[in-house]
A and B are shown apart, each in its own frame.
Chain A
Amino acid sequence: MRRWLEIQRHYLDFTLSSLLRRKRKNGALLAVYTLVIFMVASVLFFTHAIRNEAESILQEAPEMIVQRTVAGRHDLVPLYYAEAIETIQGVRSVKPRLWGYYYHPASRSNYTIMVPDDFPYEDGMIEVGQGVVRTWGTVKDDQLYLRTYDGEVLILTIAGIIATSTELVSSDLILTSEPTFRKLTGIAEGFATDLGVEISNLKECSTIAQKIVTRLPDSRPILKEEILRTYAALFDWRSGYIIVMLAGAVLAFFIFAWDKATGLSAEEKTEIGILKALGWDTSDILLMKFWEGTAISLTAFLLGVIGAYLHVFFASAPLFEHALKGWAVLYPKFNLNPTVNIYTLANLFFLTVLPYTLVTMIPSWKVSVTDPDTVMR
């Protein structure tokens, strides 16, 4: 074992000395390789982290949301629907929810306006996300000027800012009391936007959803897992879109790498011949080339992944954020919680480090199986 380790050390030592001899070629290769891994890893980190963020926020959401549709479109739900649903066996509680969107012409942004379960402030007060303060425009004496559904001016006072850790969803959020919400939106008493349904046994979700539709045919139950799936699809779609955009760069890299790695120069071929003549056998040459490929690809992988980690989790992914984050017009600015999916990282490793290493070994193998006496001539 010690002998084996010593041999690996010799080859690694030789490889590093060899690589340093061709600084320009290997430096260029390393730079491009690192850049490609950096970009792909950034997208993967970002997508995973943003999905995680959304999932962790939805943990607290009700198991099921019941909407009402009229002519296939979302409509307000009468509160007696809640009473009807509550009688279904397995339903723990039903909470009417009030929420909607407010378009502010000055900032040309849509904001989400909601009534939380326990709003601690008085009527006329609001709690807002960071993005609202940043994008609203003129905010004087902590007051926002809004227009109600019938054109009246409604002045609301900012009582608090929503915590940053939930900024993905809360950035464009305005929380207020029920009377203020109804005054702003014109939603009459006795109606809610939708109903949040808590269920005792999660396995019964779909059965209960069926019962709700049977009892209230114009209702539309939406399960939490469906929302999670939608989020996943949305972010996967966005990351796929970015990856497609990067495909050109990745392809260019592979052509570049293929050319650099497979095209052994006359000098490299002679060197392999010399090594063979000096007593290295084919497996020694392949081992040395393995270390050469590994040294470049592993360095590029580590640099690219570390760079991507810093880019996504410390710099908020400035290169991709508009393509990946944006909800409507408002781009929330927030730092993602650093989470890395080891499985994704392993995939990236096996799709980059291994192929490159193999690609560098194949041409060397072709040369190293020939008789070493060619170097004598």
Chain B
Amino acid sequence: MSPRFFGFIPFRWISAVIQLFKITKTYNQGRPNEFTALKGIDLNVDGDRITVFKGPSGSGKTTLLSIVGCMARPTSGRIKLAGQEITSLPERFLAENRRKTFGFVFQNHNLIKGLTVLENTMIPAYPTGEKHRLIKERAKDILRKFQLDAKALQRVELLSGGEQQRAAIVRALINDPPILIADEPTAHLDTELAREFMEIISELKKEGKTVLIASHDPLVHESPFVDRVVALRDGLIVD
């Protein structure tokens, strides 16, 4: 696997690919239902590692992943990605980061119903302007790797839970991003499928991916493949 570049700096040459400085996130600011999900988080996330954020519901895991993955902006604090400040980048650049740097696996998979597995997996590559044929070939290759090639033309809602998750992983990998983000990936999986997921993740780590997972499932944070566990509670890192 060749080193991935962010700007001019190869990812693999940097130990902390993600740096968070005093990150806070407040929702519904100034309203009666104002809620602070993160309260001054300082954190370095190393590259080529599997890092798990664990904690009870409402501890701020998902919010942290959203901010790291450029899906939401912090209320205060700074974020550096591969040494570059991304806190106040315009929306266009954040979208480009989401497309090129991150691959997302959501709790509910968030596959688009009515479309085929193949169409779903190609979606993140559309804005790149790459040739349709090349995207399709790459999607088919990854589907084959995840044993979904036979289901490529099937509508996603007809897949089983495990297959849907694998389809979501294929979609996350279509642009070959250096960082994979998974939010509660095993929430809807049985034990066997959850273990299978962790094996897939460990394979991706071997290929040089940095993996961030938010989960309160012991099968995830106690997995031998995990390099680091960060515990969160009430919007703070507790250990």
Size category, A interface: 35 or more
* Cα-based distance from A376 to B25 in the complex (angstroms): 15
* Cα-based distance from A70 to B171 in the complex (angstroms): 89
For the complex formed, measure the closest distance between the CB of A2 and the CB atoms of chain B, giving whole angstroms.
8
Q: Is the CB of A279 within 8 A of B175?
A: yes
Closest chain B residue to A371, Cβ basis: B72
Q: Is the CB of B123 within 8 A of A14?
A: yes
Q: Is the CB of B95 within 8 A of A280?
A: yes
For the complex formed, measure the closest distance between the CB of B217 and the CB atoms of chain A, giving whole angstroms.
17
- Chain A CB within 8 A of B112 CB: yes
Q: Is the CB of B91 within 8 A of A282?
A: yes
Scan A47-67; emit 1 where CB is below 8 A from any B CB, else 0.
000000000000000000000
- Chain B CB within 8 A of A4 CB: yes
- Chain A CB within 8 A of B32 CB: no
Among B14-22, B129-137, B138-146, B220-228, which stretch is in contact with chain A?
Answer: B129-137
Chain B residues, CB < 8 A from A11: 126
Partner of B62, one of A22, A372, A377: A377
Q: Is the CB of B119 within 8 A of A17?
A: yes
- Chain B CB within 8 A of A206 CB: no
- Chain A CB within 8 A of B106 CB: yes
Chain B residues, CB < 8 A from A271: 112
Size category, B interface: 35 or more
Q: With A279-B124, A280-B127 as given contacts, are A274 and B110 in contact (CB-CB < 8 Å)? A: yes
- Chain B CB within 8 A of A6 CB: yes
Chain A residues, CB < 8 A from B175: 279
Q: Is the CB of A276 within 8 A of B95?
A: yes
- Chain B CB within 8 A of A7 CB: yes
- Chain B CB within 8 A of A75 CB: no
Chain B residues, CB < 8 A from A7: 126-127, 129
Most chain B CB within 10 A, of A9, A14, A373, is at: A373
Closest chain A residue to B109, Cβ basis: A274
Q: Is the CB of A376 within 8 A of B114?
A: no
Within 8 A of A (CB), among B108-130: 110, 112-115, 119, 123-127, 129-130
Q: Is the CB of B123 within 8 A of A278?
A: yes
- Chain A CB within 8 A of B65 CB: yes
- Chain A CB within 8 A of B197 CB: no
Most chain B CB within 10 A, of A18, A278, A369, is at: A278
- Chain B CB within 8 A of A277 CB: yes
Most chain A CB within 10 A, of B63, B66, B73, B94, is at: B66
Chain B residues, CB < 8 A from A3: 129
Q: Is the CB of A373 within 8 A of B124?
A: no
Closest chain B residue to A7, Cβ basis: B129
- Chain A CB within 8 A of B99 CB: yes
For the complex formed, measure the closest distance between the CB of A4 and the CB atoms of chain B, giving whole angstroms.
7
Q: With A17-B119, A372-B71, A373-B66 as given contacts, are A277 and B104 in contact (CB-CB < 8 Å)? A: yes
Partner of A17, one of B104, B115, B171: B115
Scan A342-377; emit 1 where CB is below 8 A from any B CB, else 0.
000000000000000000000000000101110111
Q: Is the CB of B124 within 8 A of A376?
A: no
Closest chain A residue to B130, Cβ basis: A6
Q: Is the CB of B113 within 8 A of A277?
A: no
Q: Is the CB of A14 within 8 A of B126?
A: yes
Chain B residues, CB < 8 A from A20: 114
* Cα-based distance from A270 to B109 in the complex (angstroms): 12
* Cα-based distance from A275 to B100 in the complex (angstroms): 14
Q: Is the CB of B130 within 8 A of A278?
A: no
Within 8 A of B (CB), among A1-58: 3-4, 6-7, 9-11, 13-14, 17-18, 20-22
Q: Is the CB of B123 within 8 A of A275?
A: yes
Chain A residues, CB < 8 A from B183: 376
Further contacts, 11 of them, CB under 8 A, given A7-B127, A10-B129, A283-B92? A4-B129, A6-B129, A21-B115, A276-B95, A277-B104, A280-B99, A281-B91, A281-B94, A282-B91, A371-B66, A376-B66
> 29 pairs across A/B with beta carbons < 8 Å?
A6-B131, A10-B127, A10-B129, A14-B123, A20-B114, A21-B113, A22-B114, A267-B113, A270-B110, A271-B112, A275-B123, A276-B98, A277-B71, A277-B98, A277-B104, A278-B99, A278-B171, A279-B96, A279-B98, A279-B102, A279-B175, A280-B95, A281-B94, A281-B127, A284-B95, A284-B126, A375-B106, A376-B183, A377-B62
Q: Which 8 pairs show the lowest CB-CB distances between chains A and B?
A: A279-B99, A21-B114, A281-B95, A3-B129, A373-B66, A10-B126, A373-B72, A373-B71
